[in-house]
Chain A
Amino acid sequence: MTAPSTPSPRPAVATPDGRPQRVVLDVRDVAKSFGGVHAVRGVSFDVREGEILGLIGPNGSGKSTLFNCILGQLVPDRGSVTVDGHDVTGKRPSALNRLGIGRTFQLLQVFPELSVRENLILAGQEHKGTRLARLFGPSDAGLTPDANRMIDFFRLGHLADEKAGGLSYGQQKLLDCAMAFMAGPRLVLLDEPAGGVNLTMLENLKERLHAINAETGATFVVIEHNMEFVMSLCSRICVLAEGEIIAEGSPAEVRSDPKVIEAYLGH
């Protein structure tokens, strides 16, 4: 085991397999069943700093359950989840978020009654000072500049003061992503960011995700059904079928793997 809790003195040299050295998320032997259904059966993988890992698989392959186990929405039956060397297995989602893990949801989850800017301020405020200090501090927790920067970054400028509920689906999806990045997370888990987003917007989203990855060095894990999107966004891909990882590698490797082809087409 490495000890990443202290800042690593190592230079960011790639390991022999060509991947960065520092492990941000380490999932070991995570399993979860519901009654007799084994949704996830002992999945292990790791994500290195700055990587964009795609998690793909047919419907019912356990992607969402795995996500929920990592993010504290569900407590895994066994196994461990480690982020930056800290064991976070079974921690509450709010605690995970404050450790620097952001997420988006498969179904849209913005706050419709709040404006776009308020949504973003909300997404960052719990990282600013103590709760008591926030009560007596400024109304925006000092986050208006950060929120405006994020609004510009995701090109939502003309909508900043609109209620989030009034935005189009694609715009809400962008806002959802922007919220996940508001607190400057080290690790972001995106659950079907491309779902229901039209083609032009998709390019926009992909390009923004690449930009934020390059700019902040944040690490992403992406669940996605849209193969085109996932192949062009991700640097590595894990394929899940029936609760197990059946293939892992670069997009090109995964695409030509016979097991993957069978899992998608064989049934």
Chain B
Amino acid sequence: MRRALALAAILVAVAALLYAPQVLSRYGNFVLASWLVIAIAAMGVNLIMGYAGQESLAQAGFMGIGAYITAHMLKGGSLAFDLFWIYPVVLTWTPFSMFSAIAASALATFLMGILIAFPSLRVQKHYLAFVTLAFTVFLWLVFRNEEWLTGGVFGIQDIKRPSVFGFEMSPSRRHYANFTYFVIAMTAIAAFVMWWIVHSPWGRAFTALRENALRAESLGIDVTGYKLLAFAIGSAYGGIAGSLYAPLVEFIDPSPFALAPSLLFLLMIVVGGMGSLAGPFIGAAVAVVLPLFIEKWQSELVANGFAIFSHFSYVIIFSILVITTIAIAPRGLAGLFADLTKPRRRPHSDDKGARLGEVKS
């Protein structure tokens, strides 16, 4: 029953996603693609936090790394070749450029993830949070100050959306939907890979180190290795999201990759549902799509004479939502939904004593 319900929900979602780019406006397409891109990055945080029980405050920073790498590779300026001189020219050739940019971003952030998680593994888990916090601040300074590399506060402008398999993806009236479809496809692949990982023995090992690292170690699970893997894979999801973000917005500057957006990712996971596959999508919707609606309602209310709402901001609603979620649904909106649809079962404690020969009181 639940399985059927979940399957139906997925089918409806897929159908809606395939139909939406055709009917939505150019702005609607932008919102849809933004939601999915943020959801990919949130999936990474979900793996790190929700499954493996580690803490990352650097996901926006990893997105930034992916975005800047992609911007350089898509613009194909001399800097791209200076920086990635070992990268074969054929991979930056236009028909492949988007895929090679995604691959380069994923690889770079994967390796960077291993590099920064490694020193913090010898100590207790909160140190990973501190290390990633410092790393985010460091990255932001690089993004803002190293003008030769990142364009500083002015960022990198005019990033062209490349064509993929001959499909033009420019944001022109005729082609904007194509890019949305591309993002949908990438999200589907990312979600499938994530599903595979968390249902594989790796996912079980991640859960084990979240629940009881000591016991996991005694069962032969290489706790250090799995922590690194979880963190690196999660960070690579940030890199992939950044790689899609750059051509989506066509202009990148340091502000979306600062500390505050990194913290926002944690809240998305909390609201959406830690350790659930739907969680990142719900969380990203709350963080990306909801503010747009709220702004619209707010301006309408103010225009209709409710001046009191002019000070009302999205941040307040989001904060209230986070606090409410933690209070009434500790497993997030996805967990709440799962609880509501779960079939009620009779307690089975009646029969378990007898077969085990336990003395019943």
Chain A interface (Cβ < 8 Å from any Cβ of B): 71, 73, 92-94, 97-98, 103, 105, 109-114, 118, 121-123, 125-128, 131, 134-137, 139-141, 155-159, 162, 168, 170-171, 174, 179, 183, 198-201, 203-204
Hey, which chain A residues are within 8 Å of B215, CB to CB? 105, 109-111
Known: A111-B207, A135-B200, A139-B200. A122 touches B219 (CB 8 A): yes
B201 and A139 within 8 A (CB)? yes
Q: A122-B201, A136-B200, A139-B200 are in contact. List 5 more A-B contacts (CB 8 A).
A: A71-B218, A94-B221, A123-B219, A139-B201, A201-B357
Q: How far is the CA of A159 from the CA of B356 in the complex (A)?
A: 11
Known: A92-B217, A93-B218, A111-B215. A171 touches B356 (CB 8 A): yes
Q: How far is the CA of A135 from the CA of B216 in the complex (A)?
A: 18
> B274 to nearest A CB, angstroms?
12
The prevalent SS among residues of B at the interface is: helix
Q: How far is the CA of A198 from the CA of B221 in the complex (A)?
A: 31
B357 and A200 within 8 A (CB)? yes
Q: Map CB proximity to A onto B225-245 as digits: 1 under 8 Å, 0 otherwise.
A: 100000000000000000000
B352 and A168 within 8 A (CB)? yes
A199 and B218 within 8 A (CB)? no
A198 and B201 within 8 A (CB)? no
Known: A105-B215, A135-B197, A137-B201. A113 touches B207 (CB 8 A): yes
Interface centre among B202, B355, B356, B357 (most CB of A within 10 A): B356
Q: How far is the CA of A204 from the CA of B354 in the complex (A)?
A: 12
Hey, which chain B residues are within 8 Å of A98, CB to CB? 220
B352 and A159 within 8 A (CB)? yes
Q: How far is the CA of A121 from the CA of B223 in the complex (A)?
A: 17
Give the contacts of B188-220 with A (CB-CB under 8 A): 197, 199-202, 204-205, 207-208, 211-212, 214-220
Nearest residue (CB) in A for B211 is: A111
Q: How far is the CA of A93 from the CA of B214 in the complex (A)?
A: 9
Chain B interface (Cβ < 8 Å from any Cβ of A): 197, 199-202, 204-205, 207-208, 211-212, 214-223, 225, 348, 351-353, 355-359
Hey, which chain A residues are within 8 Å of B352, CB to CB? 158-159, 168, 171
Nearest residue (CB) in A for B215 is: A109
> A114 to nearest B CB, angstroms?
6
A109 and B201 within 8 A (CB)? no
> A199 to nearest B CB, angstroms?
7
Known: A114-B204, A135-B197. A97 touches B355 (CB 8 A): no
Known: A112-B211, A122-B208, A134-B200. A158 touches B217 (CB 8 A): no
Q: How far is the CA of A168 from the CA of B352 in the complex (A)?
A: 9
> A138 to nearest B CB, angstroms?
9
Hey, which chain A residues are within 8 Å of B221, CB to CB? 94, 122, 126
Hey, which chain B residues are within 8 Å of A103, CB to CB? 218
Q: How far is the CA of A98 from the CA of B212 in the complex (A)?
A: 18
> B281 to nearest A CB, angstroms?
22
Nearest residue (CB) in A for B223 is: A94
B220 and A109 within 8 A (CB)? no
Nearest residue (CB) in B for A133 is: B201
Nearest residue (CB) in B for A71 is: B218
B201 and A135 within 8 A (CB)? yes
> B333 to nearest A CB, angstroms?
19
Hey, which chain A residues are within 8 Å of B351, CB to CB? 158
